Amino acid sequence: MVDLVWLESVLAGAVQAGTVYLIASLGEVYAERSGVLNLGLEGMMILGAAVSFIFANAFGHGLALLATLLIGLLFGLLLAFLSVTLRLNQIVVGLALTLLGLGLSGFITSAEIRKRILLSLNPEINQQALLTQQAPNLPIIKIPYLSDIPLVGKILFSQNILVYTALILAFVMWFVLFKTRFGLSLRSVGENPAMADAMGVNVYLMRYVAVMIGGMLGALAGAYLFIGYQPFWVEGMTSGRGFISLALVILAMWSPLRAILGAFLFGGVEVLQFRLQLIGVGAQTPQFILMLPYAVTIITLTLLSVESMKKRIGVPAALTIPYSRE
Amino acid sequence: MKRNRNAVRRLSRREFLGISTGAAAGGIVAAAVVGGIAGYFTGQTTAKPTTVTKTTTVAGAAQTVTQTVTQTVQAPGAKPIKAGYVYVGPVGDFGWTYAHDQSRQYADRIYAQASSTYIESVPEAEGAAAIQTLVEKEDVDLVITTSFGYMDATAEMAEKYPDKYFVHISGYRSGAAGNAPENMSAAFAEFYQLYYLNGLAAGAVTKTGVVGYVAAHPIPEVVRHINAFVLGANYAYRKRTGKNIKAYVSWLFSWFDPGKTRTATISLVEEKNADVVAFTEDSPTTLQVAEEYTTQKGKQVWSFSHYGDMTQYGPNSHLTGQIVNWGPIYLDFYRMVATDTWRSVDIWTRIGDYIPYKWRLPVEKSTAGKPEGTVYLAPLHSAIPSEWQLEIKRRYEEMKELIFEPFSPEGNLGEPIRDQEGEVMIDYDQIVVSKKTGEVREGGRADHDALWLMDWFVEYIESELPKA
């Protein structure tokens, strides 16, 4: 049963399914490192998927990705304004933004409204694009030479552009976070904003930047889910993937590199649960495997609520605490 | 410099205001958005009157009794009515709720004096509140609830508003069945015959002899559809090759999730080499993935339409499929309310119901693949060999008169239908109604109860059935 072709197809599937979590959690790592918990991630993700759906049909992939980043930026800005400037409770604000994102995405994609938006964006659009609920997939780009390597070639080097972007971003974001002055400032405002402020770091600005990066990547994760993974639009199609990404950030202990492992692990569970069903493993309890990602989510969130565990895991000390200069 | 901001603190007044302002702001924005959607789409449609003649099949709880009643829609003395629908999903889901909404529009178009309104995405626990809103705020005469989970709420509200009428879709409580007030009816459009025909098409084209099924939840309705599909596939494949079909099932435990459906479909194709994959999920994802294999990965994989015609999502992989139009059923209830001729019924419709002529047509004139009645077959792909196209049409026509029943030895090449343990479930002289109760009845074909309680897999399925 376990041969090379099988392994290749399972692992490639894990990477494809896991990239959604990776992109979203990378942004969330930055937001949380700066001290802002973005519970609106699910809403940003679904909104990103909806926007990429509309723009991909109106203009194609390039502008769809740009529009997605823009909507994520705006949503991040809104979250930053509410939680950093107005210092509202981050959990309440985040949940409100999730609900807003779910409602708004359903609204702009409902048949009539979508038609109007598409026509106002691109009056020359064809009839088919007005009605369809799908969009063209992002093309697979095989990297010359590297894609011929057995196993690894299929898994890592025969994917679409967003998978490569996510992997490169993880390394770049890790480097920036831990090896640059900007990264140090970012981490310091999440650990001890008063101290950072005294050292001359603009706490508000750092938090705004981090949250907006989080918003952009959250929305991009939604765009990946739609045009990069399964391009069929249904309301609520993210089905909790934003919340799973939040748990993943904790599992990765706020490190972009560990997020890669975590994301592909979650992706792997998603793929394996169906493979195992077919092989006959856990045929009577497939729900058990299906709930694993959620169980991991709950366990990590529970651990996080225990004060002594918080320190050991390394939670940014000022997470969810609004800063006000006194 | 030691200021521990992490210590547990009491909620200050300022923070409390912060929290409540945040909640209020979020709530207002969310409400505005939701209100906007609801307001925009609470449309009403009316059109020219049309006279339609049709047939009703009424089924009792214990035994299938077919009764034919023909009536016209525009009865003299009909008064204007307003109907209110409660939907479980968004109208744009392209699956279950989409089909109901299309049917609502169909009914409104045909019935001149009817108008309607709906509430979408209503969680099942909030069914009662939605019904109350429709009755008290929208002043509807007839409430139609379209998810199994609304059943008890519908019965409760029927009790509360005795001068209004209620129809519940896909449940078993109604005045006719004796477990709900007289102003409540039950209705369902049943697909299993069409799944059998899909199976015939699958068995006719499969090269690997393996078919797959992406299934939502292990409930009798889905189990019956899987069994019907596999019986049909085995019928055609064994006639072609002399070998039994192999079938595998992948459970989603979700009514819709394109991401998971994608993975499940890929698993069936790659793990088990299935080249025809049927599904019960509210999106065309399985068909899209099949199309990906067919056009990009050099492997012909087939799939189907579900609820609506999905050909556009996989033109090279769309074999046929099952399509529903609830409209004629709704019209029937509109008519009953408008003419004060209400009587509680428990309806389930199959091929041949609600069409002008219930008798079968010659194969060459068959209407298989064309819209008619409440459930019908999607267009047949030309890749299905012509002799099997004829066979599918012949069975379709025979089922209009219920001459042919998939769950009978005749549907299984004359052999008794066995479950996975090899026990005979349906034979010429008797049937097992449910494996759990072990009840045995006389008769050579599955009856209503046997279909509705189906808790076993046919022997050709390799996957286990999760116990509920």
The ipTM is 0.85
Residue B261 lies in a domain: yes
Q: Among A219-223, A252-256, B264-268, B422-426, whose mean pLDDT is lowest?
A: A252-256
- For residue A121, count CB atoms less than 10 angstroms from its CB and return exposed for 0-12, middle for 13-18, buried for 19 or more: middle
Q: What is the CATH number of the domain that holds B110?
A: 3.40.50.2300
pLDDT in tens, A161-194: 999 999 999 999 999 999 999 999 999 999 999 9
Q: Among A88, A158, A203, which would you mutate to test the B interface (most chain B Cβ atoms within 10 Å of its Cβ)?
A: A88
| Residue A102: closest C-alpha in chain B | B30
Three-state SS at B302: strand
CA distance A5 to chain B (A): 10
Using a CB–CB cutoff of 8 Å, tell me whether A17 touches chain B. yes
* Residues A208-228, mean pLDDT to the nearest whole number: 97
Are residues B157 and B119 both part of a single domain?
A: yes
What are the pLDDT digits (tens) for B191-226? 999 999 999 999 999 999 999 999 998 889 999 999
* CA of B111 vs chain A CAs: smallest distance (Å): 24
Same domain, B232 and B173: no
pLDDT of residue B21: 54
Would you tell me how many other CB atoms lie within 10 Å of the CB of residue A301? 13
The CA distance from B400 to B352, in Å, is: 4
Measured between CB atoms, does A294 come within 8 Å of chain B?
no
Q: What is the DSSP letter of A240?
A: T
Q: Does pTM top 0.80 for this prediction?
A: yes
Tell me which residue in A110, A132, A225 faces B41 most closely, judged by beta carbons: A110
Q: Does A13 touch chain B (CB under 8 A)?
A: yes
Q: Is B123 on the interface with A (CB under 8 A)?
A: no
My answer on whether B306 and B400 are in the same domain is: yes
pLDDT for the residue numbered B75:
53
Residue carrying the six token digits 């495997």: A289
Decide if B385 is inside a domain: yes
Instruction: Look at residue B362 and tell me if it is in a domain.
Output: no
A102 versus A131: the higher-pLDDT residue is: A102
pLDDT for res B71: 39
Q: Are residues B239 and B268 in the same domain?
A: yes
Which tokens in the block code for residue A184? Answer: 């140090």
What confidence tier does B35 reach under pLDDT thresholds 50, 70, 90? very low
pLDDT at B63 over 50: no
Classify strands B184-189 and B246-251 as parallel, antiparallel or unpaired: unpaired
The stretch A230-249 carries a mean pLDDT of: 89
B30 near A CB under 8 A: yes
Residue B155 CB partners (closer than 8 Å, separation 6+): B166, B168, B173, B179, B180, B181, B184
Which of A148-152, A267-271, B95-99, B317-321 is the most confident on average? B317-321
Q: What is the mean pLDDT of residues A247-267?
A: 90
**What number is the average pLDDT over the span B149-172?**
95
pLDDT surpasses 60 at B52: no
Confidence grade of residue B23 (pLDDT, cut at 50, 70, 90): low
Q: Give the pair of three-digit tokens for residue B353.
A: 């119901």
DSSP A156: H
- The verdict on a CB contact (< 8 Å) between A277 and B251 is yes
B318 inside domain: yes
A92-96, A175-179, B24-28, B271-275: segment of lowest average pLDDT = B24-28
Q: What is the CA radius of gyration of chain A?
A: 20
Chain B contact present for A225, CB below 8 A: yes
Q: Are residues B75 and B178 in the same domain?
A: yes
Average model confidence (pLDDT) across chain A: 90
C-alpha span between B97 and A108 (Å, rounded): 18
What's the sign of the alpha-carbon dihedral B389, B392, B396, B402? Answer: positive
Residues of B with Cβ-Cβ distance to A286 under 8 angstroms? 251, 253, 466
Do residues B159 and B247 both lie within one domain? Answer: no
Phi-psi region of B228 (alpha: psi -120 to 50; beta: other; left: phi over 0): alpha
Number of structural domains (chain B) is 2
Q: Is B306 domain-assigned? A: yes
As a whole number, mean pLDDT of residues B293-315 equals: 94
Residues 98-157 of A with CB under 8 A from B: 99-100, 103-104, 106-107, 109-113, 128, 132-134, 137
Q: Choose the closest CB to B263 out of A109, A271, A318.
A: A271
How large is the average pLDDT for residues A292-307? 74
- The pLDDT of A273-285, averaged and rounded, is 80
Check CB contact under 8 Å for B93 and A239.
no
* Residue-number span of the structural domain to which B201 is assigned: 192-324+374-452
Inspect the interface and report whether the beta carbons of B40 and A88 lie closer than 8 Å. no
Asked, for residue B358, whether it belongs to a domain, the answer is: no
pLDDT tens per residue across span A69-93: 999 999 999 999 999 999 999 999 9
Task: Tell which wins on pLDDT, B353 or A235.
Answer: B353
Q: What is the mean pLDDT of residues B172-187?
A: 94
Quick one: three-class SS letters along A28-91? HHHHHHCCCCCCCHHHHHHHHHHHHHHHHHHCCHHHHHHHHHHHHHHHHHHHHHHHHHCCCCHH
Structure tokens at B312: 């556009």
Mean pLDDT along residues B88-104:
87
Between residues 172 and 201 of chain B, which touch chain A (CB distance below 8 Å)?
Answer: none
The number of CA neighbours under 13 Å toward the Cβ of B62 is: 3
Rounded to whole angstroms, the Cα distance separating B314 from B332 reads 35
Task: Flag if A278 and B267 touch (Cβ within 8 Å).
Answer: yes
Based on the domain organization, do B383 and B395 belong to the same domain? yes
Cβ-contact A282, A273 below 8 angstroms: no
Residue B248's pLDDT is what? 97
| B257 and B378 inside one domain | yes
Provide the mean pLDDT of chain B: 85
Are B151 and B242 members of one domain?
no
Q: What is the pLDDT of residue B69?
A: 38
Hey, which CATH number is domain A4-313, 3.30.479, 1.10.3910, 1.10.3470, 3.20.20? 1.10.3470
Residues B121 and B71 in one domain: yes
Q: How far apart are CA B54 and CA B393, in angstroms?
A: 22
pLDDT at residue A294, as a whole number: 73
Instruction: Out of B95, B259, B467, name the one closest to residue A230 (CB).
Output: B259
What's the full length of chain A, in residues? 326
Asked whether residue B21 is domain-assigned, the answer is no
Judged by CB atoms closer than 8 Å, whether chains meet at B21 and A88 is answered as yes
Measured in angstroms, the CA of B1 and the nearest CA of chain A are apart by 8
pLDDT in tens, A301-317: 777 677 777 777 778 88
Share of chain A above pLDDT 90, in %: 61
Angle between helices A161-179 and A203-223 (to 10 degrees): 160
Report whether pLDDT(A143) > 50.
yes
A10's tokens: 């399972």
The pLDDT value recorded for residue B413 is: 95
The domain locations on chain A are 4-313
By the CB < 8 Å criterion, does A287 face chain B?
yes
Question: Is a pLDDT exceeding 80 seen at residue A215?
Answer: yes
- Interface membership of B127 toward A (CB under 8 Å): no
Concatenating the DSSP letter of every residue in B245-296 gives -EEEEEE-SSS--HHHHHHHHHHHHHHH--SEEEE-SSSTHHHHHHHHHHHH
Q: Is residue B378 in some structural domain?
A: yes
**In percent, how much of chain A has pLDDT > 70?**
96
Interchain contact, A230 vs B15, CB within 8 Å: no
To the nearest whole Å, the CA of A299 is away from the closest chain B CA by: 22
**Residue of chain A with shortest Cα separation from B267:** A275
Nearest one of A285, A286, A251 to A265, comparing CA atoms:
A251
B438 touches chain A (CB under 8 A): no
Judged by a CB distance cut-off of 8 A, whether residue B382 touches chain A is no
pLDDT above 50: residue B315: yes
